[in-house]
A and B are shown apart, each in its own frame.
Chain A
């Protein structure tokens, strides 16, 4: 059984640029959630995708967008990067779009915006 993987591991961008982060869900999982974790803070929910549809969204602006593919892997896109976007971005996979199921987290992508 393959766990959750994310790429890239680290990324450095400049303000105003765009970035795409990728996540492969655990085998058998059809739901992916994305989180932003600033240094010293808890993860903040960005959005959730279930069977290729956005299933829920946290308090993030529209420049944070996502996709889920038929194989249930997912992308997080952030446009017009700001300095405050510097954080660890975590994805988590789970079953069936329900928030009552346990989430399995990937190792994260560390994004630095200069």
Chain B
């Protein structure tokens, strides 16, 4: 049930744009996005709750297509501080085990000067 992300890794020059995709084989009810820098804990970026919802702050935004079970994270005019591994995450509910949370496979993003 782990969401699959693409690309696995991307290298950008400062100022370039990037798109990270997250796809699930199961129905998505919400999508979380987190960024984790090397040796640090994941940091929350945003949650998208509704089909077709878009959110954003600063130069990072995301879309969520509930019908396609996909979400995309958009980084525009990338900065060095954007480097890290990006994870999407989604919730699941099992009758036997209750709430669950699945992180995606991760996308390593490196911004170079």
**Contacts from A to B (Cβ < 8 Å):** 33, 35, 41-45, 48, 54-58, 90, 92, 97-108
Contact = CB atoms under 8 A, between A and B. Distances in A.
B87 to A, nearest CB: 5
Contacts of A107: 40-41
Nearest to A57: B97
A62 to B, nearest CB: 12
Interface of B: 2, 29-30, 32, 40-44, 47, 49, 87, 91-92, 94, 97-106
A43 B99 contact: no
Contacts of B2: 42
17 contacts: A33-B101, A42-B103, A42-B106, A43-B87, A43-B103, A45-B101, A45-B102, A55-B98, A56-B98, A90-B41, A99-B99, A99-B100, A99-B101, A100-B30, A101-B47, A104-B44, A107-B41
